[in-house]
Amino acid sequence: MTERKLRVLLLFGGRSSEHSVSCVTAAGVMQAIDRERFEIVPVGISRDGGWTLLDQDPEGWALNTGKLPEISTLDHPVHLSTDAQKTSLLAYSESSVTDLGEIDVVFPLLHGPFGEDGSIQGMLEMAGVSYVGSGIAASAMGMDKHFMKVVFEGAGFKVGPYEVITNKQWLRDSEASMKRCENLQYPLFVKPARAGSSVGITKVDEPSGLRAAIEIARAEDPKVIVEQGIVGREIECGVLEGRGSN
């Protein structure tokens, strides 16, 4: 008897400004995943939040097409249905509902708000759906550059000098908010606190450019972090939870 392949729902696109980056990530996963072991079910989320079943061909979501990939149509709308026994993917129209089969696990490939920040993880937790990656708290803290630094400092790690400007602080007194940044040495890096893929980030070399940089960051997130530049090596590493870990 042939063992059934694990059905993995790849969830990508999303409502954030990193929509296209998420599609490119999905193309990479489609190319790398072992099709002998896993059956993939690509589901895209459009910028307005609709879910749709998509083609399994990674070429359509890669950058080599000459334009940024975009999930713009909902030709095959779907949603997840869960009960105590299983999670199923359902396709629906005005006149019918079709069961597209059981889903074993969701692989969220969303970038930015509404996906990478614990929101989709919370939805899946509430529905009792298994998923890949960090949980709600780790996702939320890892997405927020301010809270991430607070957690690191609490664990005894050193972090670079920074200031946080909240929406209320900026609207109440923008001059006072910028004055706090005088404690930092230039160049500064002004970032949306809860965004990624370098979206909304500006390097500022002198005080005259600070206000405009903050406004650019605020277009992505009303909470802004201003970091003092640091000269040094940048080291990236992946962290995977081992089997049997608590």
Mean pLDDT of the chain: 92
Give the whole-angstrom CA distance, residue 156 versus residue 94.
56
* Domain residue extents for the chain: 6-142, 157-228
Q: Which CATH superfamily is domain 157-228 in?
A: ATP-grasp fold, A domain (3.30.1490.20)
pTM value?
0.87
Read off the pLDDT of each residue in 8-13 and give the average, rounded to a whole number. Answer: 97
How far is residue 179's CA from residue 176's CA, in Å, rounded to a whole number? 5
Whether 6-142 shares its CATH topology with 157-228 is answered no
Asked whether the predicted pLDDT for residue 242 surpasses 90, the reply is: no
Domain 6-142, CATH class in plain words:
alpha beta
How would residue 64 be classed by pLDDT, with cut points 50, 70 and 90?
confident
- Cβ partners under 8 Å of residue 131, min gap 6: 105, 106, 107, 108, 121, 124
The C-alpha angle 163, 168, 174, rounded to 5 degrees, equals: 65
Instruction: Retrieve residue 8's tokens.
Output: 């993995």
Q: What is the pLDDT of residues 137-146, one digit of tens each?
A: 999 999 999 9
Residue 149 has pLDDT above 90, yes or no: yes
Q: What tokens appear for 79 in the block?
A: 């949603």
User: What is the mean predicted confidence (pLDDT) over 222-243?
Assistant: 89
CB 90 within 8 A of CB 78: yes
Task: For residue range 150-190, list pLDDT tens digits in order.
Answer: 999 999 999 999 999 999 999 999 999 999 999 999 999 99
Largest Cα separation within the chain, whole Å, is: 71
pLDDT-derived band at 245, boundaries 50, 70, 90 = low
